[in-house]
Structure 1
């Protein structure tokens, strides 16, 4: 007999990335009587097949064609692991690797879990120069596949006079009632831009005391990131 080894636990894969699905035996098996069958357990879709001494890409389900690959040079050594690239949301699920010889068959299973999406937030590198009474825009944009309504975004003023909440976006909407009174009616989001990930802030009628540092904080269920902005007086 032979022993078949797989993954000790679930695998996490990033959207667009690649993931290795392990499946290997403890000793090489004769190729002429070998069949290796990778499938999804929920739909029985063939992810990849090795049969009659060669891999059979023509048997792959449409969703996996050209994305799931054996390591051909490793198969004679008993390694039937699969590389799945261009990971999609639909790839999450349980897969089984079944190895058949003339005498027996063995099976191992592995689960792919989608990794939480990393947030990336971008701001401006340069300070914004403003005269008193002017309107300014402070940049903050989020690059993510996450639905914007799942994010919480806060703009704060973060310098000597402490930590002042200027703007809050939460549960899919702007929360003007939470603004510090110094910024009520002066600081606002570009609401129509939010679905595109743009959380820049418009600050109307700049005052001398607005000079200093601001922070745009973005929170999701799994991640927190921020960027800073600065207003410099002329």
Structure 2
């Protein structure tokens, strides 16, 4: 038997296997999720609403995380910022005002996809889905047709 000397587990004895499994579970919950976008371009027509896919794998509750969708070629670059459970509209590029949203009910399941409505030709480009707290990112390419 392995005796754990940590104050949280004082006076508890774990078998070596149990302790290793517990240790692995703790370490897998420390931000080991990857941010997954789409390897294929997302194609939209002008005026359509589309979803730029992005999720955490394995899924983590992202509701209280800071989430950023940016277009690196814009200034300001922010398309959508989610912090402390709300959207920060003051950071958003003016051309995206009133056209972007997320799915708050899905954030708990690790879905951090961005909904973009009334697509414009100028929306075409490379979008970065980023979680600063995890230092993880993914890119999604949007192609817009007329």
- TM-score calculated relative to the size of structure 1: 0.53
Aligned twin of 2:109: 196
Q: Deviations over 1:117-176 (max 9, x none)?
A: 3231101111111111111110111135754244211001123x4552110111232223
Which residue is 2:122 aligned to?
209
Q: Distance in 1 between matches of 2:130 and 2:41?
A: 18
Bigger Rg over Cα? 1
- Correspondence for 1:45: 12
SS in structure 2 at match of 1:86: helix
Match 1:229 to one of 137, 140, 144: 140
Segments of structure 1 that go 5 or more residues without pairing to the other structure are 1-36, 48-63, 69-83, 93-112
Structure 2 unaligned blocks of 5 or more = none
Q: Contact conserved, 2:62 with 2:112, CA < 8 A, in 1?
A: no
- What are the equivalent positions in structure 2 for 1:86-165 lying under 5 Å apart? 86-88=21-23, 116-143=30-57, 147-159=61-73, 161-162=74-75, 164-165=77-78
Match of 1:166 in 2: 79
TM-aligned CA distance change 1:126 to 1:40, over 3 Å:
same
Equivalence for 1:13: none
Moved beyond 4 Å, runs of 4+: 144-147
**Which has more helix, going by share of residues?**
2
Q: Which has the higher contact order (CA 8 A, sep 6+)?
A: 2
1:183 Cα deviation (Å)? 0.5
TM-score, scaled relative to structure 2: 0.80
